Amino acid sequence: MRKKFANYSAGLAVFLSIMIFGGSMRQPQNEVPTYMDKDDSISQRVNDLLNRMTLEEKINLLGGTGFGTKPIERLRIPLLKMSDGPLGVRWDKSTAFPAATCMAASWDTSLINKVGKSIAEELKGKGRNVILGPCVNIARLPLGGRTFEAYGEDPYLASRMAVSYIEGVQSEGVAATVKHFAANNQEYERMFVDEKIDHRTLNEIYFPAFKAAVEEAKVLCVMSAYNKINGQYCSENDYLLKTKLKDDWKFDGLVMSDWGAVHSTIPTAKGSLDLEMPTGEFLNEKTLLDSVKAGVVKEETINDKVRRILTVMFNLGLFEKNEVPDTALVNTPPHRQIAYQAALEGIVLLKNETSILPLNLDKIKSIAVIGPNAAVARTTGGGSAMVSPVYSVSPLEALQNKLGARVKINYAEGATLSGDISAIDSRYFYLPDRPEHGIAAEYFDNQDLSGQPKVAETDDQINFNWHGQPPLPGIPGQHFSARWTMRILADETGDYSLDVVSDDGARLYVDGKIVINDWSSHGPAMNSYRIHLEKGKFYDIKLEYFQDTGGSSVKLGIRQTGDKLFATAIDAARNSDVAIVFAGTSAQFETEGKDRDNLGLPNDQDALINEVAKANKNTIVVMITGSPVLMNDWIDNVEGLVQAWFGGDEAGNAIVDVLLGKHNPSGKLPMTFPIRWEDCSAYNSYKKQDSVSVYSDGIFVGYRWFDEHDIRPLFPFGYGLSYTTFSYSEINGKAVGDSYEVTFEVKNVGNVEGVEIPQLYIHDPDKAIISPVKELKRFDRISLQPGETTEVKFSLKKIDFAHYNADKEAWETHPGTYDILVGSSSRDIKLETKIKIE
């Protein structure tokens, strides 16, 4: 029975609304409309509301408003309010959780579930209801600018992480968005590159995490990718969005585009994309209404898109509740603890010669703390995944806090990473035409500096981060440009670097000559120009900038160049008992919008590490990156090596607790670390053709490629050391009903408690079809006291032995005897048994 309105006038208003706007369902004036009755089923409510909407309203719902959908006040249709993720809520300041590569290195699904739940709580704290994460694209390209955002190179590991994250998020009544569908594996030419990928490879490597997100985690939203696959943009690709996602996997949520990833009106409207983001540039009333009325696009096709959007809203209960921001839910002590735990469990011990770790403080009186990542908290990479932390702690701060006066710390930066610049002090700037301090600034309401400036003013520095918001009244938050004209006066003769950090394009002129020309759309990136300045001399400077979409920031800095930093670091190492070099990259190198130029450590860090190792035989390197870097030039010269990733806001504390032995490291690599870039599967196809990327490696991605071609990696997939050791024994495999059970024992044979992550791989010795040497199918995390033994049990299904038949577009399991391989990494197989599949 329907609930009554409190008074006659409210019921009359609803009745008149229905009569005036042509709702097809006529209800008594004193009854609640079906779509507003929470006791009715979601499908009934959606259909009722859909029948009340005009065609114009339906079309208008297909385009976003920046980070949300359009509200329809007449029918009280609310907004879906979105926020970037996937590593925290990118809406003002929030808890910064570790990079997804770090989370994947934990191999801890229960922990990732807690991360997802924490992010969802903070999302509600911001008054939002859709997080744009997780990212599950496979790390085919270690150079990839967004590799840090996803869960590594293996589809099974990525699937387990994705399901746990999504279930954690959606348990809090908000929506997760699995992205980017599909194969968004490079940033180079990402907006238009045509990836040639066969259907077997898509289904075995690049689809499984998406499939698991839909079928197992019941994810509410899917985001399509920028790139093309086999000639079609992902946002209008029927094989991806219709055949696989909606037909095969029965996805009933909404499909949104990545921001600016729609390129057409009619093909997109006819296809299976539901929501164009950030705005309805192609899907709007002006471009689409006549085509629908003429039958070019069927109204039922539009209805299906709207139905999916409304279904998500009803699933989230948005018609019953209004998300009110609550700062008490943001950066809570439990969230910080989970961020710490995720950073801690993701740390991978890669080398530990002479058991230099954990540090023995009874024998150490001084520690040299060196490197560009020592005094800076590198919480994550750049772009839409970058979260502004409420709080963060660097390794240097954590060491100082935890050691106090017990050990002397000799700190030296040693090298400066590009992008680590301070804005030029206002006292060095002079207006271009008079002897007063300042910068002549002009702001334009277009992104090509055309026409007269909309706003002209005087700025005192160029150090802006507008976060995509309007920089000034009258200037839009997107698609604007600016020009700054000034003179600078050096107070000391010497060699300098003029540095420009911008998101998006920038051009720098010195004395009328263009010296930096980066006039393109991209995430935060730094460009530098070396210049010799003379004391007391004026130099004319002009900086031009444009903002396309997304984040918006620009900074002009200056720094002296030379060998002083280097020499100070060597001196610190020479005068300390132990030297720890905190090396790596930053958000300037690993970022959305561009790939790294190479896998090398930037800014002479290789030379720094080697010189520190010469000065101090007890040298440890802590690598802070989001993905692999080359280490062959120095790895034999250091005693210890720790892969700490971008560890979120608690990274410093987590790293130091591992170094001091307060936590026994247990992380395992979620991707192969190569000796050289040329050994990687994507090397033969990346940047080989303009606008095209042929996935010639097929199913042989990551460790599969290294195995197939018998290439020795620097560190294999699944690798990670501990402060203790484990033994494996007593393997047995047998059929149990329609499952296949594998059991074995693991023992802690060392002296301290530790966590081991046994991994199960399948090998097809008969090679009924071309297949990898081994494929990960199961893993577990087990904690053992010294001397303790436990039995590990894995259950396999017939589908685990299947491969995708592209001709039949179906999965097939070939009868035969398969090898079951169990070990501590993909290259350290401890036990083997066989299972026969009938």
Q: Name the residues annotated as catalytic.
A: 258
Identify the CA nearest to 103 among candidates 119, 91, 92, 90: 119
Helices 42-52 & 299-315 angle (0-180, nearest 10): 130
Alpha-carbon distance values, 131 to 67, 146, 278, 315 (Å): 10, 17, 14, 15
Enclosing H/E stretch for 615: helix 605-615
Q: Which amino acid is at 803?
A: H
SS3 assignment, position 568: helix
The DSSP secondary structure of 408-462, one letter per residue, reads: EEEEE--S--TT--PBPPGGGEE-TTSSSB-EEEEEESSSS--SS-SEEEEES--
Q: How is residue 122 annotated by DSSP?
A: H
Dihedral sign from CA coordinates of 158, 164, 170, 174? negative
β-pairing, 175-181 with 130-132? parallel
The answer to whether the Cα torsion of 259, 260, 262, 265 is positive or negative is: positive
Give SS3 for 519. Answer: coil
Q: Which of 402, 309, 298 is nearest to 652 (CA)?
A: 402
Say if residues 253 and 311 touch (Cβ distance below 8 Å): yes
Return the closest-CA partner of residue 672 out of 620, 721, 712, 726. 712
Cβ 462 vs Cβ 555: under 8 Å: yes
DSSP annotation of 622 reads: E
HSE value, Cβ hemisphere, 13 Å, CA-based, for 132: 28
SS (H, E, C) 133-193: CCECCCCCCCCCCCHHHCCCCCHHHHHHHHHHHHHHHHCCCCEEEEEEECCCCCCCCCCCC
H-state helical runs in 642-702: 651-659
CA–CA dist 205, 225 (Å, integer)? 16
Rounded CA separation 773/761 (Å): 9
Could you tell me where the DSSP H helices lie in 276-411? 285-293, 299-315, 333-346, 395-403
Q: Which residues of 96-120 are buried (b: 16+ CB within 10 A; e: fewer)?
A: bbbbbbbbbbbbbbebbbbbbbbbb
Rounded-to-integer distance, Cα 40 and Cα 34, Å? 7
Within 13 Å of residue 517, how many CA atoms lie on the same side as its CB? 3
Element of type H or E holding 11: helix 8-20
| Cα-based angle 426, 429, 432 (whole degrees, multiple of 5) | 145
Alpha helix locations (H) across 433-582? 564-574
Q: Quick one: CA dihedral 560, 564, 568, 570, positive or negative? A: positive
**Sign (positive/negative) of CA torsion 28, 32, 37, 43?**
positive
What crossing angle do the helices spanning 564-574 and 605-615 adopt, rounded to 10°?
A: 30
∠ CA 139-142-146, rounded to 5°? 65
* Separation between Cα atoms, residue 179 and residue 245, nearest integer Å: 13
C-alpha span between 317 and 305 (Å, rounded): 19
